[in-house]
Copies of this chain bind each other. A is one copy, B any other.
Amino acid sequence: MNGAETLVETLADQGVEVCFANPGTSEMHFLAALENPRIRSVLCLFEGVATGAADGWARMMDRPASTLLHLGPGLANGLANIHNAKRAGVGMVNVIGEHSTRHLKYDAPLTSDIQGLARPLCHWIRTTDGSHAIAADTAAAVAKGNEGLISALILPGDASWGEAGELKRQPKATTVRPAPDAARVDHVVKVLKSGEPTLIILAGRSMRGLPLDLAGRIAATTNCRIATQFFSVRIERGAGRAPLERIPYAVDQAIAFLSGFKHIITVETGEPIAFFAYPDKPSLLKPADCQLHSLVEKGEDSAAGLEMLAEALGALKTLPTLQARIEEPMPQGALNPTSIAKALSYAMPEHCILVDESLTTGRESMGLTAGARPHDTIQNMGGSIGYGTPVATGASMACPDRRTFCMVGDGSAMYTIQSLWTQAREGLPVTTIIFANNTYAILKAEYANMGAGGEGKAAPGPRALSMIDIDNPTIDWVAMAKSMGVPAVSVDTAEDFTQAMINSTREAGPVLIEVKL
């Protein structure tokens, strides 16, 4: 076997099933090795699609996907969505081609410091030392991915094409997430028994399945409230689940939400902070007299931690308050955040996946979709736009039996619109919902929040506005979708939007809905 073949075999041995790829000349032997049917390789027309898809896949599977990126610039193109995955604690195994070792000294045009580019955003970085080292390096890269970390395995051409001898199968890494310290649990028991107003903030893997159920029981027992940060990696929501509140995005609203709490207990997360800094607003959001208590640290086992807590509180047999299905008539008339949320609640089928990158239009949707049929919601924790359509692509690859809805603003969608092509190619059941308000609407609000215009001037001037509005020309989303083989429809009423969503669930492949706002 050559080095590339040992890489692909080892990826498969370690449980990696898929490679989101955009290859180049230096990766031709790796490409040849991908003939191996144990790995499904998926072509993406831009590396930001590949890394975002790997993120989406891992969110649904709880184990990492791999990517294939072409040298330093290929990695650079993928970094924004690597940043988003890193911030969400989602593991990823990036394989990055490099020039053959003997070629590096000539400083050829595509030469760059790949390790340097990886360093700020990848947890584990290694340039493999030769064909014989690849199997062990690959196993180490996947082990880090299993821990929810970002790996960057840099593969020089000569290591890829060189003879590696007989493959040395690597032991499969097992990841153990430790339970939290018992003393921490005891402390939190006391806090919850104090009767003082307390909020538990859930994150990581605690917002679904057993830990979510346990959190519901703890809330029912102690009258504490349970919430998420504004952005979460993946939440099981809707009818039949313990409902979670959401800490608002805007600083003033978040402060109002948190006011009155004397204690905040964190599970796989930290203190709530402002997304951005503003001249006249604080970065920290909780009241000054509110105490912070960590129950489960990032990387620890929140199911074990919440079980210990529930047992100590005698909450294991308390039934949680579960969300009821809220049935409302199909919404009619004008499209606005409320009618859009009601349309989602009406149309979303059971067990669908909702990838939410709607920065402004979708902000009200969480509250109003609480009573939707049970579904998974995925959000961007890194703040770099161009996240939704790739993540929906990867989530759908992982769960082809469930429809994935991707809510995305027009500005964000344009960043990585190449995702549509991969969705068409793979026949993925994704419904992309473009909120076409023809503006970076979030920036209009932020301009005012920042006081950027000076005293008493909330609205941007004409030149600043021309950097925020994207209405000249308006983007024709139906033509955009058609160009990449995705059928599309444009809607401008709540009933047409609802019907378009329902219709899309009857299609086998991708659909795009342009929501004209």
Q: Which residues of A contact B (CB under 8 A)?
A: 21, 23-26, 28-29, 31-32, 34-35, 37, 41, 43, 45-46, 48, 71-74, 76-77, 79-80, 83-84, 87, 99-100, 102-103, 106, 108-110, 112-113, 116-117, 119-121, 157-158, 161, 231, 273-277, 279, 283-284, 381-384, 386, 411, 414-415, 417-418, 421, 424-425, 442-443, 446-447, 449-454, 460-464, 466-468, 470, 472-480, 482-485
Contact = CB atoms under 8 A, between A and B. Distances in A.
Given A35-B464, A83-B112, A109-B383, 19 more contacts: A23-B467, A29-B450, A31-B460, A32-B453, A48-B77, A77-B386, A77-B415, A106-B274, A106-B284, A110-B382, A112-B120, A117-B121, A161-B450, A421-B475, A473-B484, A476-B483, A480-B483, A480-B484, A483-B483
Contacts of A32: 447, 452-454, 460-461, 464
Contact of A421 (B48, B384, B450, B473): B473
A484 B31 CA distance: 34
Contacts of A35: 461-464
Which residue among A26, A83, A113, A461 has the maximum number of chain B CB atoms within 10 Å of its CB? A83
A275 B109 contact: yes
Contacts of A470: 43, 45, 421
Given A28-B452, A484-B475, A23 B161 contact: no
B452 A29 contact: yes
Contacts of A454: 32
17 contacts: A23-B468, A31-B452, A31-B467, A45-B411, A73-B79, A73-B382, A73-B383, A77-B386, A100-B277, A110-B382, A157-B277, A414-B421, A473-B484, A473-B485, A475-B485, A476-B483, A476-B485
A473 B31 CA distance: 21
Contacts of A460: 31-32
Contacts of A275: 25, 108-110
Contacts of A276: 25-26, 99, 103, 108, 110, 157
B79 A83 contact: no
B43 A466 contact: yes
B106 A34 contact: no
Given A103-B277, A116-B119, A41 B83 contact: no
A48 B425 CA distance: 25
Nearest to A116: B120
A493 to B, nearest CB: 23
Nearest first, the 5 closest Cβ-Cβ pairs linking A and B are A473-B485, A103-B277, A73-B384, A100-B277, A480-B483
Contacts of A383: 73, 109-110
Contact of A43 (B467, B478, B482): B467
A109 B479 contact: no
Contact of A41 (B21, B29, B467): B467
Contacts of A464: 31-32, 34-35
A43 B470 CA distance: 8
Contacts of A483: 475-480, 483
A461 B33 CA distance: 10
Given A120-B113, A477-B483, A485-B473, A463 B34 contact: yes
Contacts of A231: 109
Nearest to A19: B467
B418 A414 contact: yes
A169 B6 CA distance: 61
A74 B48 CA distance: 12
A76 B80 contact: yes
A478 B84 CA distance: 33
B76 A83 contact: yes
Given A31-B447, A415-B46, A103 B283 contact: yes
A52 to B, nearest CB: 12
Contacts of A31: 443, 447, 452, 460, 464, 467-468
Which residue among A76, A480, A482 has the maximum number of chain B CB atoms within 10 Å of its CB? A76
Contact of A73 (B80, B112, B116, B421): B80
Contact of A443 (B24, B45, B84, B112): B24
A443 B23 contact: yes
Contact of A442 (B25, B274, B283): B25
Given A79-B79, A112-B121, A414-B45, A425 B473 contact: yes
A384 B385 CA distance: 22
B381 A109 contact: yes
Given A117-B117, A450-B28, A470-B43, A108 B161 contact: no
A274 B103 contact: yes
Contacts of A110: 275-276, 382-384
